[in-house]
Amino acid sequence: MSDLAALEKLLDAIGPAAVAVSGGVDSTTLGVLAHRRNPGAAAMFHATSPAVPPEATQRVHDMAARERWNLTIVAAGEFGREDYRANPVNRCYFCKTSLYDAIRRATQAQILSGTNTDDLGEYRPGLDAAREHNVRHPYVEAGIGKSALRAIARRLGLDDIAELPAAPCLSSRIETGIRIEADMLASVNAAERFIARLLKPSIVRCRVRAGGVVVELDAASLDALDDARRGRLLAQLKRLFPDARDLGLAPYRAGSAFLVEPRAQTI
């Protein structure tokens, strides 16, 4: 049985579903497939907050219009929680708790997430919140990882979605223990969008650290950065983060803002 067939069989068995759609490749592909399998029983939920890039929300709206989704926009309200704003190592737990609480208030359908098998090797405390809310992860249940789900997206005709780079929430750029502020996240997003236009990197992360702001790039982009563009990049960072003690560049390292020993997750 193909990955797509296995996923379709699983979604058919689940029945009425509420898909948490962030706007990334994983959840968007899941939402499209769930809706196409059973339009009357699939609803999409997207949370807006300062941690969600506006372009991700726009992508969800565009897909909803294109696929004729039943879409509900929710305010998860995580910014009203001090346990989230304090940015502990398990910040994602409080974020996902707020999200799933908001979805559950709106529906009794089975909540689905776009978590895939590759995610289980990373530190993701949001999976603890998912377990507490009985959220199901169809990709994990079907044994599907990132490359396979991108292939599924292409088979569904979602070529634009299939090629989206990984895009964790903006709060993931803030080093553990630094309080999460909306204006800080807006600056992070503005910096990454500027750098994307300037360099067209395959990966860019603007990290806010206790010692300053560091832009992490894929190795090829970092090696190809000439003095002129480096100067423009650092000047833009200075405008966006005028109080930063230090501004720098570094090779990309996944999850480097989390000051915690990585561990595998279970669901």
Q: What is the pLDDT of residue 259?
A: 72
Whether residue 190 sits in one domain with residue 110:
no
Q: Is 71 helix (H, G, I), strand (E, B) or coil?
A: strand
Nearest to 251 by CA among 224, 209, 222: 222
- Structure confidence by residue, pLDDT tens digits, 210-235: 999 999 999 999 999 999 999 999 99
Structure tokens at 241: 């983060």
The pLDDT value given to residue 112: 98
Judge whether residue 260 has pLDDT over 90: no
Each residue's pLDDT tens digit, 140-179? 999 999 999 999 999 999 999 999 988 889 999 999 999 9
Going by pLDDT thresholds of 50, 70 and 90, the confidence category of residue 266 is low
Distance CA 183, CA 112 (A): 31
Cβ-contact 214, 249 below 8 angstroms: yes
With beta carbons less than 8 A apart as the criterion, state whether 31 and 58 touch.
no
* In a shared domain, residues 148 and 202: no
Alpha helices (runs of H) in 110-248, residue ranges in sequence order: 126-132, 138-141, 146-155, 159-162, 182-199, 219-223, 227-240
- Residue 144's domain comprises 3-162
pTM listed for this prediction:
0.92
Q: What is the CATH number of the domain that holds 227?
A: 3.30.70.2210
Domain edge (last residue) among 162, 192, 224: 162
Mean pLDDT of 127-152: 97
| φ, ψ for residue 261, nearest 5 deg | -75, 120
pLDDT at 255: 80
* Residue 192 and residue 122 share a domain: no
Q: Residues 137, 145: contact at Cβ < 8 Å? A: no
Query: Residue 265: pLDDT above 80?
Result: no
Tally of structural domains, the chain? 2
106 part of a folded domain? yes
Confidence bin at 264 (pLDDT 50/70/90): very low
Name the residue type at position 71: L
Nearby residues of 13 by Cβ (< 8 Å), 6 or more positions away: none
Identify the H or E element spanning 215: strand 212-217
235-239 own/partner pairs: CB under 8 Å, 24+ apart:
236/191, 236/194, 236/195, 237/191, 237/206, 237/213
